[in-house]
Amino acid sequence: MSTISREEVAHLARLARLEVTDDELDAFAGQLDVILESMKTLAEVNTDGVQPTSHAVPLVNVFREDQPQPSLSREAALSGGPDTFEDRFRVPRILDEEA
């Protein structure tokens, strides 16, 4: 029995802007289940009084001084975009027609 439903996979896919077929929904639900099961093993460890780890490296207060550094040339900056127009990145319309 899956602990993660097809609907949950579909929701995650929408949030990540991924197109997923019906067959893939089943496949991913199964695979994600395996991952969640594996995590349960970790959950068996007693972590009372242990802060959750967000950073593996014990560094704090890493700052940069407020000194300008050279930026990319515009040509270089725009070269990575799929489409450009008048020195700007061109993107498809943001809202759907009926919106």
Partner 1 sequence: MTKLNDYDKAVETYEPVLGLETHIELDTNTKMFCGCSTVFGAEPNTQVCPVCLALPGALPVANRAAVEATIKIGLALNCHIAEWTRFARKNYFYPDMPKNFQTSQYEEPLCEEGYVDVVVEGREYRVEIERVHLEEDTGKTLHVGGATGRIHGATESLVDYNRAGIPLVEIVTKPVPGTGALAPEVARAYTAELRDIVRSLGVSDVRMEQGSLRCDVNLSLNLPGDGWGTRTETKNVNSLRSVERAVRYEVRRQSALLDAGERIFQETRHFQETTGETRAGRSKEEATDYRYFPEPDLAVMEPSRAWVEELRAGLPELPRKRRERLQASWSLGDKEMQSVVNADAVDLIESTVAAGATPSGAVKWWLGELSRRANENGDELGALQITPAQVAQLQGMVDDGRLNDKLARQVIDGVLAGEGDPADVAAKRGLEVVSDTGALEAAVEEAISANPAVADKIRGGTHAAAGVLIGAVMKATKGQADAGTVRQIILDKLS
Q: Which of residues 39-58 bind partner 1 (CB under 8 A)?
A: 54-55, 57
C-beta atoms surrounding 9 within 10 Å: 22
Among 18, 27, 36, 72, binds partner 1 (CB under 8 A): 72
Phi and psi at 58, nearest 5°, equal: -80, 60
Distance from C-alpha of 54 to C-alpha of 36, rounded to nearest angstrom: 19
Query: Using CB under 8 A, which of 1, 35, 43, 59 touches partner 1?
Result: 59
DSSP label of 52: P
Contacts (Cβ under 8 Å, ≥6 apart) of 74: 87
Binding mask 10-39 for partner 1 (x = CB under 8 A): -x--xx-x----------------------
**Binding residues vs partner 1 (CB under 8 A):** 11, 14-15, 17, 54-55, 57, 59-72, 74, 77-78, 80, 85-95, 99
